[in-house]
Chains A and B, each alone.
Chain A
Amino acid sequence: MSSFANELRAVWAFSKREMIIWTSYRVNIWTWIIDVFINTSIFFLISLLVGHHSMGAYGTNYVSFVVIGLSIYYISYTNLGDPFPRVARIYWNGTMDLYMLSPLSYFTPVIGVMFKSVIDDYPRVGLAFLFGWLFFGASFAFRVPFYVILGVVLIGLSTFGIGMISASSFYLLNFKRGSEPISFILQDVVIALVGGYYYPVNVLPQYLQILASFIPHTYALDLFRRALLPGASLTQPVLPLQYVLNFSPIAVDTIILVLMSVVLFPLGFYLYYLGIQKARREGTLTRWQ
């Protein structure tokens, strides 16, 4: 069997293991469903206040608008926020040495243990859409499905690239105690403020709109909202770069997401590789108890 097939089998084994562990705590499933329901209903209640005000290029349905925001939040929360704690978990429970003593690449165990987050977070996207549509009056159009699929792949790659940069700091910058600043600054400060999960980016002051231009979330949210929200415009520019590059806003979103993915994804893996090599020199791959 080829080595790539072995890596895939190993990722499958990790995901199966995480699934067994996750489902062994049955209360997990109920708290998980309630959590998604409550999150969606909070925004429905806010939408009652907002009413059907126009959100410019993004149509008039705030619940639909925010369901997409929540979905990207869940994907980002997983891809960007979880690699660091997963690597930390491997380190603190002492298994990094054991994974290294296998034919797997340096990256497979991290990708494998990420399935804990994927199992936990990705289905929330579907549930958010379902609850929004069933109970809170969200509606969606599927006008440019190709761009939507491409956008999902690209936001996945670019945010996971940032996640791996954050994870690499565990070994590379020795952030072994508590949280690390990369994902905190990006996820909890920059993206939370200017990412546009809950409001359109063009309501922000211009300098914050420029800051928003440097994160993939801005383009993914713009792409998905234009592609999925009924009444959204496919031509009216919203983001600063869409004004500068005078062609289809969805194409601008896609190009920027491709560029960010091409840079961030390999960069994240390369820095993680450097981190492991550094740990192999310093003897800090794992903590033996």
Chain B
Amino acid sequence: MAIINLVGVKKSYGKRKKSIEVLKGIDVCVENGEIFGLLGKNGAGKTTLIKVMAGLLIPDSAKGKVLEYDVIKDADKIRASVSLVAPTADIGVDPVLTVRQNLLFWATVYGIPTKEVNNSVNEVMEALDIVKFEDAWAMEISAGTRQRLAIARALLVKHELVFLDEPTVKLDMEAAKMIRNFVVDLRNRFGITFFMTTHLIEEAEEICDRVMIMDNGEVKAIGSVEELRSTFTDGEEIIIIGKFDASGVKRLERIYDVGVSKVGEEFKLIFSVEKVNSKISEIIESVKKYGEIMDVEIKRLTLENIFKKVIS
């Protein structure tokens, strides 16, 4: 079931003559429980799209629903039913309050009943593994922990839909990896749908079920990484290095699209295939018949390559 289903989202900034069209009729559908990634360069319209979907920004035109609410008429209901983690963890985190005090404050702002406030705070602190920092001032904890605190704040109310706007943008590799693991874990445990923007292509490749690539206010591609690979691929390569019988190599050349080179006694066979997955077993079995395989390398189209292709 779609949790976001929008058609023709348009938004311009500025007055008539100097108006800049930031979203040029975006269609987006996100399924319940998905981790959906939105990729795009700076100025592609990612944050504007998130703000429209969260009910923070009034679009010039749009049809469809977020949760069960109309994106324009029920924006106030959408705002009360979704959570957002802003690009900088410091937003919404008061530096001179402790981690627990920050969460207690937001729990009340979010209207969690008084009796449930402490339980909700304890639950999100455990889920994000920040219990040991509960009495530390927010200004004393690391950027990664502050980002976990920001996500904990967003999860206090157990909304079904959470927007993450570049959640790992200012984190080191280790902290970013930890946040990604938490996102996947929270989706698996609580069924939360995450809609995240990111600049980090490997991040989208690692955790997103589907990605959408935007450029200049338009959707350029949408689908799972596998689907995008098959759409945009010019082919993939299986590279096999080993000691083979020369006549066997010639036989392989007749059967497959293969490039051959030889250094000393070692052959390097480069098989060009449409999809690695469907051919790799067959090719390895065939090659094995003619000698000893020393190394196998696969060259596939990465999301980064797809992104570059789409944007160019």
Q: Compute how far the CA of A168 lies from the CA of B136 in the bound complex, rounded to whole angstroms.
A: 36
Chain B residue, CB-CB nearest to A24: B96
The contact string, 1 if C-beta is below 8 Å from chain A, for chain B 156-187, is: 00000000010000000000000000000000
Shortest Cβ gap from B205 to chain A (Å): 25
CB < 8 Å: which of A10, A17, A288 contacts B86? A288
Known: A6-B111, A17-B94; 15 extra A-B contacts, CB below 8 A, are A13-B104, A13-B108, A20-B96, A94-B86, A94-B91, A94-B92, A99-B109, A102-B110, A103-B80, A104-B109, A277-B58, A280-B75, A281-B57, A283-B11, A288-B165
State which of A17, A104, A282 has its C-beta within 8 Å of the C-beta of B97.
A17
A93 at the interface (CB under 8 A from B): yes
Chain A residues in 8 Å Cβ range of B86: 94, 97-98, 288
Minimal beta-carbon separation of B211 from chain A (angstroms): 22
In the complex, the chain A residue whose C-beta lies closest to that of B48 is: A283
Interface residues on B, range: 35 or more
A side interface size, CB within 8 A: 31
| Nearest neighbor of B101 in chain A, beta-carbon distance | A20
A241 to B236, CA, bound (A): 89
Q: Which residue of A lies closest to B157 (CB)?
A: A102
**B97 contacts A280, CB within 8 Å?**
no
> Could you tell me which residues of chain B, from 96 to 148, have a CB within 8 Å of some CB in chain A?
96-97, 101, 104-105, 108-111, 113-114
CA distance A102 to B80 in the complex (A): 5
Q: Are B94 and A98 in contact (CB under 8 A)?
A: no
B84 within 8 A of A: yes
Residues of chain A within 8 A of B105, CB atoms compared: 13-14, 16-17
Query: What residues of chain A lie closer than 8 Å to B75, measured between beta carbons?
Result: 280
The main secondary structure of chain A at its interface with chain B is helix
Decide if B256 is an interface residue (CB 8 Å cutoff): no
Known: A9-B108, A10-B109, A20-B97. A101 touches B79 (CB 8 A): yes
Of the residues A14, A20, A280, contact of B56 by C-beta under 8 Å: A280
Q: List 28 A-B contacts (CB under 8 A).
A: A1-B111, A1-B113, A9-B111, A12-B108, A13-B104, A13-B109, A17-B97, A20-B96, A93-B90, A93-B91, A94-B91, A97-B51, A97-B56, A97-B86, A98-B92, A100-B55, A100-B79, A102-B109, A102-B110, A102-B111, A103-B110, A103-B111, A280-B75, A281-B58, A283-B11, A283-B51, A285-B56, A288-B87
B97 to chain A, nearest CB (A): 6
**B54: which of A24, A101, A103 is its contact (CB, 8 Å)?**
A101
Chain A 259-289 residues near chain B, CB threshold 8 A? 277, 280-283, 285, 288-289
For the complex, what is the distance from the CA of A282 to the CA of B56, rounded to whole Å? 10
Q: How far is the CB of B167 from chain A (nearest CB, A)?
A: 13
Q: Does A95 contact B (CB under 8 A)?
A: yes
**Smallest distance from the beta carbon of B195 to chain A beta carbons, Å?**
14
User: How far apart sit A14 and B109, CA to CA, in the bound complex (Å)?
Assistant: 8
